[in-house]
Amino acid sequence: MAIVYQKSKGLTDLEMHYCPGCTHGVIHKLVAEALVDLNLLEHTIGVAPVGCSVFAYNYFNCDMHEAAHGRAPAVATGIKRVLPQNTVFTYQGDGDLAAIGTAEIIHAAMRGEHFTTIFVNNAIYGMTGGQMAPTTLVGQKATTAPHGRDRAHYGQPLHMAEIMATIGGAAYSTRVTVVDMPHMMKARTAIRKAFQMQMEGKGFTFVEVLSTCPTNWGMTPVEALGWVKDTMINEFPLGVFKDADSKEGS
Amino acid sequence: MASRVTFSQDRCKGCGLCITVCPKHIIFLDKTKTNKRGYHPATVVEMAACIGCANCARMCPDSVIMVERNIEED
C-alpha cells in the first residue's frame, strides 16, 4: 500500500479552530501543498491577518508574521524588500483586505511588490458574528442587514480581483473557488502559478478564493457549497483577470 | 483490497464535505459514534469499493483523511 494522500508537511499538526465545513482549511492545504511541491516552504514567510484566519500562523509550517488589521500587505512589503530571495505571502479575508485594509492592498499592487496575496472571500464578517461586509451580496442577509443588503442604502459588493487587474504593478489576478474537485484543481493551479510568478520577479500576484461561512450564512456545510456554486459565482465570476505571462506570449 | 481510507476520527468535525466528492458514495457519518469533540465522525462503509482517488482527503478542511492505494494492482 502506497500513501496517495496525507496531511501536507506544509501544515503543522495542530487542529484548526475553524467551524465544521469552513473552506479555510481547504485553502490552507492548497497553499501549503504548493509551497512544498515548489520546494519553497523552507524559504517562505507568511503574513497572517485579523479575522477568522488570525491563527493561520499556527497552522502553516513556515515562518509566519502577524499583522495589524488590514496591514498584512505593508508588513509583507517590508519583509520582501529586506529578504527578496524569500517567498512572501499574505493570507487575508474580506474584512481584512476589502474593508479596513483596502488602501494597503491597492498600494502594494500599485508599487508592484513581489509578494503573493491569498484573498479569502466569504461575503461576510465571520469572526465577529456575521456582519455585512463590503463583499456581501445584494439581498444577502447579515446581522447588520437583517432584511438583506439594500443596494440603495449600502451599495454593491466590491470585486477585488477585477480591481487588482486594473493596477499596473499587478502581474496576476484571478478568482477561483474550492467547492468541488474541478474548481479545487483550478484553484490549486492558480496558487502555484502565483508563487511561481513571484519567484520569477514578475510582480504582485493576487488569488481571490470564494469560500464558505456555513455558521454565519445559517446553512449546513454542504448547503453552503451549493450557495457558492448557485449564487455567489454569479456575483463574483471565476476566471483570470490579468496574467502578465500570457500578455508576453501574445 | 486495492485502496484504504483512514480517518483520524477524533479530529473529524462531521461537516460531510468528503461525502459530497466521493464518486463511489461509500462515505457516511457514523451516527453510532460521537468523538471527543462531540461530532459524528465520517467513515467508509464498503472499503472494497474504494478506488483510492483521494477526493475525500483533498476536500477535508481538517486534513483528517489519509488514502492508501495498492499500486501493483492498478
The tens digit of pLDDT for each residue in A33-86 reads 999 999 999 999 999 999 999 999 999 999 999 999 999 999 999 999 999 999
Q: Which long-range contacts (CB under 8 A, 24 or more apart) does A58-67 make?
A: A58/A12, A58/A14, A59/A11, A59/A12, A59/A14, A59/A16, A59/A28, A60/A10, A60/A11, A60/A12, A60/A28, A60/A31, A60/A32, A60/A91, A61/A9, A61/A10, A61/A11, A61/A12, A61/A32, A62/A10, A62/A35
The domains of chain B are located at 3-73
Q: In the prediction, which pLDDT does A250 show?
A: 44
| Residues B67, A6: C-beta atoms closer than 8 Å | yes
Å between A55 CA and nearest CA of chain B: 14
What whole-number distance in Å separates Cα of residue B20 and Cα of residue A248?
40
**What is the distance between the alpha carbons of residues A38 and A67, in angstroms, rounded to a whole number?**
26
For A56, the 3-state DSSP assignment is: helix
pLDDT at residue A23 in the model:
97
pLDDT tens for each residue of B28-62: 999 999 999 999 999 998 999 999 999 999 999 99
Q: What value does the mean pLDDT of chain A take?
A: 96
Helix (H, G, I), strand (E, B) or coil at A138: strand
Return the pLDDT at A246: 87
In percent, how much of chain A has pLDDT > 70?
Answer: 98
- The confidence band for B70, taking pLDDT boundaries of 50, 70 and 90, is confident
Instruction: Check B69 against A15: CB less than 8 A apart.
Output: no
Contacts of B61 in chain A (CB under 8 A): 16, 18, 21-26, 29
CA distance A84 to A18: 32
Q: Which residues of A touch B (CB under 8 A)?
A: 1-8, 11, 15-16, 18-26, 29, 180-181, 184, 214, 220-222, 225
Q: What class has domain B3-73?
A: alpha beta
Q: How far apart are CA A45 and CA A61, in angstroms?
A: 10
Amino acid letter, B17: L
Reduced 3-state DSSP string for A34-47: HHHHCCCHHHEEEE
CB distance B63–A23 less than 8 Å?
no
| pLDDT over threshold 80, residue B73 | no
Answer whether B34 touches A (CB < 8 Å): no
- Residue identified by cell 463590503 is A134
Whole-number pLDDT of residue A158:
97
* CA A102, chain centre distance (Å): 14
pLDDT greater than 50 at residue A17: yes
Nearest to A171 by CA among A243, A247, A90: A243
Nearest CA in chain B to A6: B66
Handedness of CA A61, A65, A69, A73 (dihedral sign): negative
Report the SS3 class of residue A200.
Answer: coil
Say whether A29 and B68 touch across the interface (CB within 8 A): no
pLDDT, tens digit, for every residue of A131-178? 999 999 999 999 999 999 999 999 999 999 999 999 999 999 999 999
pLDDT of residue B1: 65
Q: What is the pLDDT of residue A248?
A: 57
Q: Which domains does chain A have, with CATH numbers?
A: 24-249 (3.40.50.970)
What sections of A68-227 are H helices per DSSP? 72-82, 94-95, 102-110, 151-154, 160-165, 181-199, 214-217, 221-227
B51 in contact with chain A, both atoms CB, cutoff 8 A? no
Q: Which of B13, B21, B63 sits opposite A7 (nearest CB)?
A: B63
Q: Tell how many helices (H) and how many strands (E) occur in chain B.
A: 2, 4
ipTM for this model:
0.94
Cβ pair A94, A27 in contact under 8 A: no
- Greatest Cα pair distance in chain B: 39
Nearest residue in A to B61, CA atom: A25
Tell me which of B6, B17, B28, B55 to substitute to probe the interface with A (most A C-beta atoms closer than 10 Å).
B17
Does B68 contact A2 at a Cβ distance shorter than 8 Å?
Answer: yes
